[in-house]
Amino acid sequence: MSEAERAKANADGGESDPASRELPDWFDAVAEDVLEYCRPKQGLWVDLGCGSGGLGFALAQVSESAILLIDPNADALAKAVERARASGLSARVVPIVSSAEHIPLAEKSVDLVTSRGSIFFWKDPPQGLREVYRILRPGGRALVGGGFGTSYPAWAHKEFFRRCRDSRPKKENRTEEEKPAERAERPYETVRPWNEPRRPEWLAEQVQAAGIEAALVEPTPPGLWLLFERGRT
């Protein structure tokens, strides 16, 4: 097999059917982009809106920094505590139950903030961005947005969205609980349409409302990302 044929096979998922393959974890690929774009110094790093800490653990594996996992979901963070204990990272990976809008950290106290996938569900995105800027040390950087990472395989990216489409119930098969009138009673995260805010224009609007300087990362890494740095003055 030539190099060109091998590259195409990798992009397409190899010879096996992508639908039967386990999707690779995307957090390692995202962590690579965080390090590439932010170039953070070792110190105190934050994974904001971390869920059970996938990105934070990926960063812990490639650094000696202390990692703060911040999320409002205590149950998700409990899983992160178990994982940290099992992987011997309890001394460096610390969970904090809080929201992006009210980060319980001192001003200019952290060297890196990264957040994958959560800004689209923050109740007040501009306030969350102001909080991220507030806690950054001078020269510290933040990468906030959503995506799979530059090195994530093309076949897996395509297969992920295919499975998402196939898993959605058809309109005629929805239960009463899934109808819009019933969904009005659900928490904010489940009411907001999944893809509604995922546009560059939406991110730009949040930056403008926050009153900070941030740049959309284009054309890579894949997804929508904001990159900003706290000035050294």
Asked if residue 162 is part of any domain, the answer here is no
Q: How does pLDDT run across 96-124, given as a tens digit for each residue? A: 999 999 999 999 999 999 999 999 999 99
Residue 2 in domain: no
State residue 16's pLDDT score: 65
- Domain enclosing residue 207, as ranges: 27-150+194-229
In a domain, 15, yes or no: no
Q: Note the pLDDT of residue 1.
A: 33
Phi, psi of 150 (to 5 degrees): -60, -40
Predicted local confidence at residue 197, as pLDDT: 62
Residue 188 is predicted with a pLDDT of 35
CATH label of the domain that carries residue 35: 3.40.50.150
| Average pLDDT value for the chain | 83
Is residue 55 scored above 60 in pLDDT? yes
Q: How many residues in total does the chain contain?
A: 233
What's the number of CA atoms in the CB half-sphere (13 Å) around residue 44?
A: 12
CA quadruple 91, 96, 101, 104: dihedral, nearest 10? -70
In a domain, 215, yes or no: yes
Do the domain assignments include residue 37? yes
Establish if 165 belongs to a structural domain.
no
User: Is residue 158 domain-resident?
Assistant: no
Query: How many domains does one find in the chain?
Result: 1
Higher per-residue confidence, 188 vs 229: 229
